[in-house]
Amino acid sequence: MMQYLFYTNPANNYSLVGKVGISSQDEISEKVKKAHTVKKVWKAVALEKRIALLTHICEEFAKREEELAKLITKETGKPIQQSINEANGYVEEFRWFMNHVGNAIEDEITYEDKKSVYSTNSGLQLG
């Protein structure tokens, strides 16, 4: 039987906003496995194509900023203006990353001595 996590509006006497299913440990393991597989496929897609796809998603978020703000208010109890600012901030941050992705995926030298050079590349991450 599926278990659910219920979320409520703290500014409205904790009235029910919605629910989301809780994945089992097996489901989580399967999703992580699939994510690793998809990561390899995504990495093979040309950078310009990835940017185009993500930019489209970003613009969809921008079109729905008001809807997102209302949802943030409903879920957190924040005043609507704070939620509007938050939603707008997410879109602006998304756009910034799309404009700076080239820098974000370059290797960065983190340590260098006479024998070795260590570098990292965490890639672009959006939260």
Q: What separation in angstroms does the CA of 5 have from each of 10, 17, 20, 30?
A: 15, 11, 5, 20
User: What span, in angstroms and rounded, lies between the C-alpha atoms of 108 and 121?
Assistant: 6
> 65: closest CA among 87, 92, 95, 94?
87
> Which residue in the block uniquely carries the two structure tokens 């939260």?
127
Global confidence as pTM: 0.70
Report H helices in the chain.
25-44, 47-63, 65-76, 80-99, 101-104
Residue found under tokens 């809807």: 67
**Polymer length of the chain:** 127
pLDDT at position 2, please? Answer: 86
**Please, what is the average pLDDT of the chain?**
86
pLDDT at residue 127, rounded to an integer: 38
